[in-house]
Structure 1
Amino acid sequence: MNPLLRVPFEIPFDQIEVAHIVPAVRQLLGEAQANIDAIANSTEPRSFANTMAALDEAGVNLENAMAVVRHLECVSNTPELREAIQTIDPEVSAFYSAIPLNDKLWKAIQGVPETGLDAVQKRFLTKQVDAFRRHGAELEAPAKARLTEIDVALQGLCTKFSQNVLDATNAYELIVEEEAKLAGLPENAKQAARASAEAKAKSGWRFTLQAPSYLPVLTYLDDAEIRRQMWQAYMSRATSGEYDNRDLMRQILTLRREKAHLLGYFTFADFVLADRMAQRGVIAQEFVGGLELATRDKFGEEHSALEAFAGKTLEPWDISYYAEKQREKLYAFDEEALRPYFAVGPVVDGMFRLCERLFGIEVQHRPDAKVYEPSVNYYEIFSDGRMIGAFYADWFPRESKRGGAWMEPVRTGGPQPDGSFAPHLGVICGNMTPPMADKPALLTHREVETIFHEFGHLLHHCLSEVPIRSLSGTNVPWDFVELPSQIMENWCWERESLDFFARHYESGETIPEELFQKMVRARQYRAASAQMRQLGFATVDLTLHTEFDPKVEVDLLDFANAVLQRFAVTQLPKDYGMILGFTHLFSGPVGYAAGYYSYKWAEVLDADAFSRFKAEGVLNAATGREYRAKILAKGNSEEARDLFRGFMGRDPDQAALLQRNGLA
């Protein structure tokens, strides 16, 4: 009766209870281990089917259950759920860590003959041999035991790090009692703040550190003191008290470094990047450093111009505020003027229609499906009359939900041995501006880009046609995985594509041409500053995972802030703690650790790849079908460089990105 033991395709969220998690996961761990043992101990002649294909499917029920559990942890976090996850995390981590350390299994894989295998099967075999070797298959027994200890410890530390960020975010609120202090704030943000206060049975206007509440304050509010309070609260999350992440961060970095050394790598960055496009930490650093050099002069010019405009030396909490004022003056463009054209329903529906035209799919809403929250929607994706995927869309913030936006595969399908096609299942989440009592959710243009971004990941997962699960969909190098997501953002800037989804929520009219032209002219505004911000994150990430030495007594916050200061135009305060809330780097044993540069790496790819759409037509169905066939459908069945060459006919060129950002 435990629904997690065999999770059906349509997840029965109404039946899943926290009490199901521990017994289900333990039973599934036992089943998965039995499958591994059966492969390892088999006396039959080794073949791809009885060894590699069996290995690919050995833990599928465990993976399906854990995908649901991890998703609930992200969107419906409760103390009881945390306790259950903390109980099973060490056991799950130990299981996966032990797979490449299993001597019999390692010998079994090495015994699989390549004769008769197709190209995808050969690639899977080769990559598994490399992965086993890279994850310790050839280590001595004591080193293998220590590696397992490290993996288990990392999972627990990273889970706690993420929980601390969520709790620290939720622990803060700012109540403003006087409406006069809200001068400058858009009416939409004021209404949201009033509704937030009423939901907590409080008077006045309530502001939190969730993005839809925090960002309008920093961007529009005239009161500099309130901006300062909000900025300092956000940048000091998880820096003190019961949610302090300092020690967790040090332990995580120390264990990652030890793991890399155990496996024969000089740095954790080298270990992580060995099977990615960059291949080594130094190559990623050179890439980031090259973009920094190309950006720094314009970056300085932008800030000098902003301070001249403001007529004063700016504090960190002044930057967004005066930047918005400067943009309004330079381009007569107010970002808020776009919001009425981006009601979430028409945006999402129009995005579906756009993708139907480009990629030959059909997306259908299923209002009768079971969901875990009333605001969540469930959709199915069809191609040539066959359902190839489905997904849950969860767009609005809740206190039990982590911040940011993301896509997660929940179930990986694909072509089956009997010729059928098993559909994929995923989830896309965000923390967008929620609806008001009398208005639908009206989004910023950046929020629209975020929806397109996450749907790009979802398409990469659901349009995969790779028959081997481990090579399917988004299981690609992380410096390639952002190409399908980031390229989707380009359709948020083109007149033809905007008309698919940008409609005034009351009149149904498209964006007026004058407003559209203002938006396009303002696109490159402070592009160097935006790029330097991302390069700063990438640099501090790579520096922490190449240069940090736990034997050297150093305050990690000071160490990280010294790097980040290079990319800041104002003096960072002593207690600046952005790094302690950086869940991209520290909420998982690997995650984006030593890989944050991937956003910029893939941005080069996406700007270059979209240049083909620009040349052949942004709504050109033939180009869209080719992109689907040569990128989205291929997963990790070929080298990422070869996939890019297959679509573009050449290697990537940075010029398209620099030109798009006005830096060339």
Structure 2
Amino acid sequence: MSIDFEALTAKQNFPLWEQTPEDVLKTANELIEKQKNLFDKIAATEEPTLDNLLKPFAELNNKDAFPESQVTFYQYVSTNKELRDASTKAEELIEESSITEWSRPEVYKVFQKLYDAVKDTDIDPESKRYLKKSVTAFKRNGLALPEETREKIKKLKVELSNLSVQFAKNLNEEKGFVLFTKKELDGVPEDVIGSYSKAEQDGEEKLKVTFKYPDILPLLKHAHNGNTRKTAYIAYNNRCSENAPILEQIIKVRYELGQLLEYDTYSDFVLEERMAKKKEVVLDFLSDLRTKLTPVATVELEELLKLKNDDLKSRGLEPEDKVYAWDSAYYNELLLEKKYSVDNIKIAEYFPLESTVNKMLGFYETIFDIKFVRIEKPAKGAVWHEDVQQFAVYKNIKHGEPRQEFIGWIYFDLHPREGKYGHAANFGLGPGYLEDDGKTRHTPVTALVCNFTKPTPEKPSLLKHDEVTTFFHELGHGIHNIISQTRYARFHGTRVERDFVETPSQMLEYWTWSKDEIKGLSSHYKTGEPIDDDLVDKLIKTKHVNTGIFNLRQLFFGIFDMQVHTIKDKKDLDELDLFKKWNSLREDITLISSDNNPTKGYSSFGHIAGGYESGYYGYLYSLVYAADIYYTLFKKDPMNVESGIRYRDIILTRGGSRDSIDNLKELLGRAPNAQAFLQEIFG
């Protein structure tokens, strides 16, 4: 039986993206007023029940989740600066109000009273979990502490929120660039050079290299001139220097919060809600991994140094005794080309963005038994920019008469532009949940925001293999948000423990290193031919080339993050020199010299300013779970639909409605372990 998806999709409601700056602030104030009114009612409730407390509380959070996400999302994607500014202001207002409401002891007491009454009863587990998490959130705001302390905590949390928002705003609005002559850019692919805008400096025509990925990364990977790479690297890592004092203040505020909340360190406060639970677990994990990776990276750097000096000699230049920070990407590319005969520019020809994305969607359709339907001509106001693609997603229903169930909207915003978020991320804009009738499902909305090269009249956007992996990863987050089916928005999709949230996406990255799957994704932009076996085999052999160097860099971010959040004494905080710590740790851990050219790289470390504080370790920590899942369920047969559906239903569908460790044990049939991870990394 064929399904008319066009007719089916026409029946689905979709959000509109036509708000003005005034609309954004009006919506924000309405959301604030609604929350305040509800909390006033809860505070006045003498005999709380599931019907008069949990039901209206959940209903408000369910229904307001999307409008709140929408008005705060514009700051990352809108071309209108006034709208971006209004979006940032809306986030500040909403956060400040939320902190105030969640700091009300009279509301906390009502929640605690209801939880005490039902915690030993047989109410549904997700409702009990919701109540428990809510009570915990109040306690973590200091509601069990004296009034004077509570007021200090509230003020600090407002300050922290505003600082984090400003840090992100500065990053989004960043417009830095470096100017070079065409000669200085020798080695950078011609199509990249052709995309650089022209500028004049001292009467000489130069090319403008911005700090957006499609501009700066090809330079660092391909520019033959070491001074060009050095200049670009230093400028890039000093971008957004106005964020440096903001991060310094953020760390001080977090320290004060940890102390007021009576935790040993701020890290202890954060990790209480993570899978790792304790800072000692994280620090031991990072230390052990560093011990294992350092000798591997040492050998890799020796090989890169030899390659560097052979290259310098071939060009009539003097040898050098170190591989510098601006050398690693360039000589990594050269190593792939010389030793492994891998040409990433040539490989990219097999991955034109449009067809590669379509093939990726086909993979996800097979593995998870779902269907994507692209809206070829989005309705007026259906997307926030003309580049954005809109898809409806359906799930196959097997019981009874075979049919398709609409399960959500997903958007792809894939090219850079001024004022747009500069990295790659998934934004879970609108969570799914069960409507008040307990039967009808409110469907989710999610968006992938990336920065891939824009197509030109001569050539489509071509994805490097690492960009294919990046998109597969972010699509994994998007699918997590679409497939999840929880009762409450609070637990929907990626709203799991922070040190597990990357696991589903990291697990799916394995598909981009599997021979049959790579070939299936490929299609030469001129001929349509799939990538040949020889090229794929060579590419796969490079999966763990310089893995020590790469993972030590990740360890550096994680260790820096942990060190600034595990400060115990005020004296140590007062003596903290972020600039010195960042640069000394970077050289010490990564083993790569900056030749005495320190930078303020922490001023663009967006993760640490909001969301991943004392949590960056999670990128490495969750790799352990990702490897365990892939090796157990998919390594022998990556496209096994039965395994895909089992994984979908146990991990993705449940979102955060259960502890992730319990889902993992059910999926694997045992407790997770690090054997697959260590085998994958070290062989």
Find the residue that maps to 2:394 and give its secondary structure.
strand
Return the alpha-carbon distance in structure 1 between the equivalents of residues 548 and 176 of structure 2: 34
What amino acid sits opposite 1:225 in the alignment?
N
Distance 1:90 1:521 in 2: 48
Q: What is aligned with 1:4?
A: none
Cα distance, 1:175 vs structure 2:
4.1
Matched, 1:182 2:182: no
Quick one: distance in 2 between partners of 1:406 and 1:434? 18
Per-residue CA deviations over 1:431-489 (Å, capped at 9, x if unaligned) read: 11221222111011111111111111111111111102112211110001001111111
> What residue is the counterpart of 1:253 in the other structure?
251
| Structure 2 partner of 1:400 | 419
User: Bigger CA drift: 612-621 or 631-640?
Assistant: 612-621
CA contact (8 A) 2:62 2:488 kept: no
Q: Which residue of 2 aligns with 1:279?
A: 277
Q: Hey, what's the Cα distance between the residues in 2 that align with 1:159 and 1:33?
A: 22
User: How far apart, CA to CA, are the structure 2 residues paired with 1:592 and 1:562?
Assistant: 22
Q: Which residue of 1 aligns with 2:41?
A: 38
Corresponding residue for residue 19 of structure 1: 22
Please list the CA deviations of residues 37-72 of structure 1 after superposition, one character each: whole Å capped at 9, or x if unmatched: 2233234x4322322232223344543223112211
Who is 1:488 aligned against?
Answer: 508
Cα distance per residue 1:498-533 (max 9 Å; x no partner): 233211122111110000000011111101111111
- 1:626 paired with 2:646, answer yes
Confirm whether residue 371 of structure 1 aligns to residue 383 of structure 2.
yes
Distance 2:551 2:90 in 1: 40
The corresponding residue for 1:323 is 332
Select which of 605, 608, 611 maps to 1:585.
Answer: 608
CA distance in 2, matches of 1:654, 1:521: 22
TM-score by length of structure 2 reads 0.90
The answer as to 2:143 corresponding to 1:137 is yes
Instruction: Compute the displacement of 1:327 (Å).
Output: 2.0
Task: Show the counterpart of 1:172.
Answer: 177
User: Are the aligned partners of 1:86 and 1:156 in contact in 2 as well (CA < 8 Å)?
Assistant: no
1:423-438 aligned within 5 A: 423-438=443-458
Find the aligned partners of 1:610 and 1:353 in 2 and give their Cα distance: 19
Contact 1:350 1:501 (8 Å CA) reproduced: yes
Kindly indicate whether residue 395 of structure 2 is the aligned counterpart of residue 383 of structure 1: yes
1:201-232 deviation per Cα after TM superposition (whole angstroms, max 9, x unaligned): x9653311111111111111112221111111
Q: Deviations over 1:363-405 (max 9, x none)?
A: 1111324211111101111012111111111011112112111
Distance 1:264 1:373 in 2: 47
Superimposed CA distance per residue, residues 403-426 of structure 1 (whole angstroms, 9 cap, x where no aligned partner): 111111111113333411211111
Find the partner of 2:566 among 511, 528, 546. 546
TM-score, normalised to structure 1, is: 0.92
Pair 1:299-2:321 in alignment? no
Structure 2 counterpart of 1:562: 584
The whole-number CA distance in structure 2 between the counterparts of 1:426 and 1:126 is 27
Q: How many percent identity over aligned positions?
A: 27
1:10 pairs with 2:14: yes
Code of the aligned partner of 2:15 = I
Amino acid at match of 2:185: L
Match of 2:430 in 1: 411
SS of the residue 2:102 aligns to: helix
Is this contact kept in 2: 1:100–1:136, CA < 8 A?
Answer: no
Match of 1:266 among 264, 267, 271: 264
2:493 is matched with which residue? Answer: 473
Residue 593 of structure 2: which of 571, 574, 595 is its match? 571
Segments of structure 2 that go 5 or more residues without pairing to the other structure are 1-11, 310-319, 397-403
**Which residue of structure 1 aligns with residue 207 of structure 2?**
205
| 1:121 counterpart = 2:127 | yes
CA deviation vs aligned residue, 1:52-96 (integer Å, no higher than 9, x gap)? 232223344543223112211011265423543454444322222
Gap change, CA 1:521 and 1:610, over 3 Å in 2: same
> What is the rounded CA distance, in whole Å, between the counterparts of 2:653 and 2:470 in structure 1?
22
The CA deviation string for residues 267-309 of structure 1, in whole angstroms up to 9 with x for no partner, is 1111111011011222111111111111111111110111122
User: What CA distance in whole angstroms lies between the structure 1 residues aligned with 2:213 and 2:131?
Assistant: 44
Q: Matched residues in 1 for 2:14 and 2:336: separation?
A: 47
Aligned to 1:393, what secondary structure does the other structure show? strand
Return the alpha-carbon distance in structure 2 between the equivalents of residues 645 and 188 of structure 1: 49
One-letter amino acid of the counterpart of residue 411, structure 2: Y
Deviation at 1:117, TM superposition (A): 0.3
Q: 2:670 aligns with which of 635, 650, 655?
A: 650
SS in 1 for 2:299: helix
> Contact between 1:89 and 1:152, CA under 8 Å: does it hold in 2?
no
Correspondence for 1:512: 532
User: Using the alignment, how far apart are the partners of 2:214 and 2:636 within structure 1?
Assistant: 37
Greater CA drift, 80-89 or 118-127: 80-89
**What are the superposed Cα offsets for residues 166-199 of structure 1, whole Å, 9 maximum, x if unpaired?**
44x41323242x3x44332223322322xx349x
Inter-partner Cα distance in structure 1 for 2:355 and 2:102: 47
Q: Give the counterpart letter for 1:410 in structure 2.
A: L
Sort the Cα spacing of 1:616 and 1:332 in 2 relative to 1 into closer, same or farther, 3 A.
closer
The AA in structure 2 aligned to 1:344 is L
Give the aligned partner of residue 529 of structure 1: 549
Paired position in structure 2 for 1:222: 224
Q: 1:618-640: CA deviations, max 9, x gaps? A: 00000000000010001112111
Q: 1:447 to 1:89 in 2, by over 3 A?
A: same
Q: What aligned pairs does 1:84-163 form with structure 2 within 5 A after superposition? A: 84-85=86-87, 87-112=89-114, 113-114=117-118, 115-163=121-169
Q: CA deviation at 1:131?
A: 2.4
Q: 1: distance between equivalents of 2:430 and 2:410?
A: 10
Supply the AA of the counterpart residue of 1:490. Y
Whole-Å Cα distance in 2 between the matches of residues 343 and 212 of structure 1? 15
Is the aligned partner of 1:596 residue 2:596?
Answer: no
Q: CA 1:174–1:61 in structure 2 vs 1: closer, same or farther (change >3 Å)?
A: farther
For structure 1, the 5+ residue unaligned runs are 1-7
Deviation for aligned residue 1:245? 2.1
Distance 2:632 2:605 in 1: 35
Provide the C-alpha distance between the structure 1 equivalents of 2:42 and 2:276, rounded to a whole number of angstroms: 34
Residue type at the aligned position of 1:173? V
Corresponding pairs, count: 641
Q: Does 1:356 align with 2:365?
A: yes
CA contact (8 A) 2:455 2:461 kept: yes
Is the 1:414–1:464 contact (alpha carbons within 8 Å) kept by the matching residues of 2?
A: no
